[in-house]
Chains A and B, each alone.
Chain A
Amino acid sequence: MRITEHPILTFERGKELNFTFNGQPMKGFEGETIAAALHAAGVKVLAKSPELHRPRGFYCAIGNCASCQMVVDGEPNVRTCITLLREGMRVETQDGKGKIE
């Protein structure tokens, strides 16, 4: 789901990176956020809400609303819309408020 042709923009993608989503191997690019890489791979559900466990995707994409919080390398409540993807990252769906280890 990446845009390849565009009349006015060119997208210079960085190096290809490997990461995992709920244990599954995935690929993304350097310079993009975790949420963008997941969306490009077709993953829209990033978390489950704390009370009713309803599915949550991103909403604002500027780090303001907390809708995109996931568990990244064991750390809960990471705003994946403003956090850059890194090689080898372990990204997991967050269910509820998240536990601090």
Chain B
Amino acid sequence: MREVELLIIGSGPAGLCAAISAASSGAKVLVLERSFRPGGQLIKQTHMFFGSESQYASHRGVDIAGILLKKVEEFGDRIEIMLNATAVGFYEDNVVTVLKGEKEYFKIKAKSVICATGAYEKSLAFPNNDLPGIYGAGAVQTLMNVYGVRPGNRVLMVGAGNIGVIVSYQLMQAGIEVVAVLDAAPRIGAYLVHASKLARMGVPILTSHTVKEAIGTDCLEAAIVCEVDDRFRPIPGTEKRYDVDVMCISVGLSPLNELLAMRGVEMKYVAQLSGYVPMRTENCETCIPGIFVAGDASGIEEASSAMAEGYLAGLCAAAKLGHVPADFEQRREAYLKQLNDLRSGPVGDRIRAGMKISQL
């Protein structure tokens, strides 16, 4: 069985930054990535990011992935990224089982593990919600921005948060018609800059609306939407039909971290962080010493905080393995300050409350 010093699961911004941080302290790192391409969600994000200079604001997400991968290369002898490799099990003796491609199945034993597996897109319950043509908004973004393939001709976007609104705008950029964006909430969740761009292009954003049902035999042909009252109950008689071949679901993300639950890490449902999350210390360490979490897997935030958490988890995991750099405390405090700054302000209130509940 292969033995590694530090195993990182996931190569999104959190996993890559953790790898860079740990390797720069001297640790030997193996990164597992189930996709054939590293970078996580960043590779499909063609819009400029918000945030501060230290998190590469005003770069496009896909370019940030490139910058991080260049840094990884500088530590070529200490970081290995294994692609097409899905971690499928995580056991008591820190053995992780891996499925590589379709045929290879093997075990890896790690002294320390950082789980940076990201998130998954939530689904929405309505009749026929499983018809082909109904896709996660992130999935449509991958199809069109990474592969240059049109998801269809006419799109209904469900969810007016940042992702729904940004993907709608990107659909229009690719020449695809967006008939409407709807959201059950009475207010638009997205930042105003994004929402007003859409409004200027003439796309209606329907608040207090939901999907009643999807129609189609083999694929999506139409959607029936209706208004909801202040307790989210459908209002009879308000139904509208949209003939669409694509419906994008963008009703939020949930942390992806079943591997940690399987390992026996203490988990808790924290609504502010969008699902079950591992309890952890300020240093991103779970209740099991040597097992860390970073990025969306520890609660839904943004790429900027995923990077800062990755750097922090990598630093602390390496230190526990005996690789303590001379400036350990300064670096640790700098990352904590970055996280604190990112979580300040009214949007950060929710995250800070969630952090308090999930703190060990």
A residues apposed to B, CB below 8 Å: 1-3, 5-9, 11, 13, 32-33, 36, 39-40, 44-46, 49, 54-65, 72, 75, 78, 81-84
Contacts and interface: CB of A to CB of B under 8 A. Distances in A.
B142 to A, nearest CB: 4
Interface of B: 34-36, 46, 84, 86, 102, 120-121, 123, 130-136, 138-140, 142-152, 173-175, 218-219, 256
B46 A55 contact: no
Nearest to A67: B130
B130 A36 contact: no
A58 B139 contact: yes
Interface of A, helix, strand, loop or mixed by DSSP: loop
A9 B218 contact: no
B256 A64 contact: yes
A33 B147 contact: yes
Contacts of B134: 57, 59
A61 B139 contact: yes
B173 A8 contact: yes
Contacts of A75: 102
Nearest to A31: B147
Contacts of A46: 132
B218 A7 contact: no
A26 B144 CA distance: 20
Nearest to B147: A36
A3 B130 contact: no
Contacts of A2: 148-150
Nearest to B150: A1
A61 B135 contact: yes
A40 B149 contact: yes
A60 B120 contact: yes
A63 B12 CA distance: 14
B34 A63 contact: yes
Contacts of B121: 60
26 contacts: A1-B149, A1-B150, A2-B148, A3-B144, A3-B148, A5-B175, A6-B174, A7-B173, A9-B145, A13-B148, A40-B149, A40-B150, A44-B218, A54-B130, A58-B139, A60-B120, A61-B138, A61-B140, A61-B143, A62-B35, A62-B142, A63-B86, A65-B120, A72-B102, A75-B102, A82-B35
A32 B147 CA distance: 6
A82 B100 CA distance: 12
